[in-house]
Structure 1
């Protein structure tokens, strides 16, 4: 891959990321972009409670696909830089841990979409979602945007298509 790549016509791509820091809590970020690379929406959330990083990444995916469903998207590609999470989603991994309970919630969301696919992407190509996950470090609660993101994230959008 030579940069962030656009989804196919009729699809959206949702890049997600999470950040966890002791004493800080957990931050989640997502950006949804259309087939021309345009920002459709973004979100950022910060919670006071901390959690294991893979669990935070799973929460970010669940939150993001819920938002995609709410906004009426039917064909989505979800990209994350957490390979173990993407592998678990692709294999429909099951278990009894809190992580697996979040996976189960994600699996239950499948029927809301015509098609949903999972893709691992290196952190280099997940910078916008990463920025939004850490932007939340300054703001507790959820923030959402339509079309345009906070300045630092928007600058990354403008620079990352097929760098």
Structure 2
């Protein structure tokens, strides 16, 4: 876990300038997806005291209309980045079963989005990310993007 934290810290230091520019350029409110696409906002919560992880996603269409939502929980202690990865994996699996082919998945977990769009490692987190990458193969077109926490408010509710 210490090695993973060190790696994340180093990446943050390297990308800090880029991340600030990207953050300032991004909208601070939810945006509709392109025509023919759906948008899936994903989030997780960790309650360390009660050992409960909440997994949530909200799906909206190209007009911004609510289509579906899903909320579940897992009884176990988990680090936040692993919980975010598990929530994304569940969202991929659920959406893929729904037979949607063009999806934008949004998360406010920058390290998760970077890991899915990049190369993996050997931690438990990376194992979940590898599972996510396998599930992505079932979509015709898919994007996994980072959004500021303020954009992901529906999943927080």
Instruction: Quote the Cα distance in structure 2 between the aligned partners of 1:79 and 1:110.
Output: 14
Give structure 2 stretches of 5+ with no counterpart: 1-26
Instruction: Quote the Cα distance in structure 2 between the aligned partners of 1:62 and 1:33.
Output: 18
Residue aligning to 1:152: none
Q: Which has the higher contact order (CA 8 A, sep 6+)?
A: 1
Alignment size in residue pairs = 130
Instruction: Quote the Cα distance in structure 1 between the aligned partners of 2:86 and 2:61.
Output: 23
Give structure 1 stretches of 5+ with no counterpart: 132-163
Instruction: Quote the Cα distance in structure 1 between the aligned partners of 2:67 and 2:98.
Output: 10
Residue aligning to 2:60: 33
Residue aligning to 1:148: none
Partner-residue secondary structure (3-state), 2:57: strand
Provide the alpha-carbon RMSD of the alignment. 1.0
**TM-score (norm: length of structure 1):** 0.77
Instruction: Quote the Cα distance in structure 1 between the aligned partners of 2:93 and 2:59.
Output: 12
**TM-score (norm: length of structure 2):** 0.80
4+ runs deviating over 4 angstroms: none
Residue aligning to 1:149: none
Residue aligning to 1:83: 110
Residue aligning to 1:3: 29
How far does residue 114 in structure 1 lie from its aligned partner after superposition?
0.6
Partner-residue secondary structure (3-state), 2:88: helix
How far does residue 15 in structure 1 lie from its aligned partner after superposition?
0.2
Partner-residue secondary structure (3-state), 1:109: helix
Instruction: Quote the Cα distance in structure 2 between the aligned partners of 1:105 and 1:125.
Output: 26
**Once the two structures are superposed, what CA deviation does each residue of 1:80-110 show, in whole Å capped at 9, x if it has no partner?**
000111111111x212211111111111112
Q: Would you say the 8 A contact 2:92–2:136 is kept in 1?
A: no
Higher alpha-carbon Rg = 2
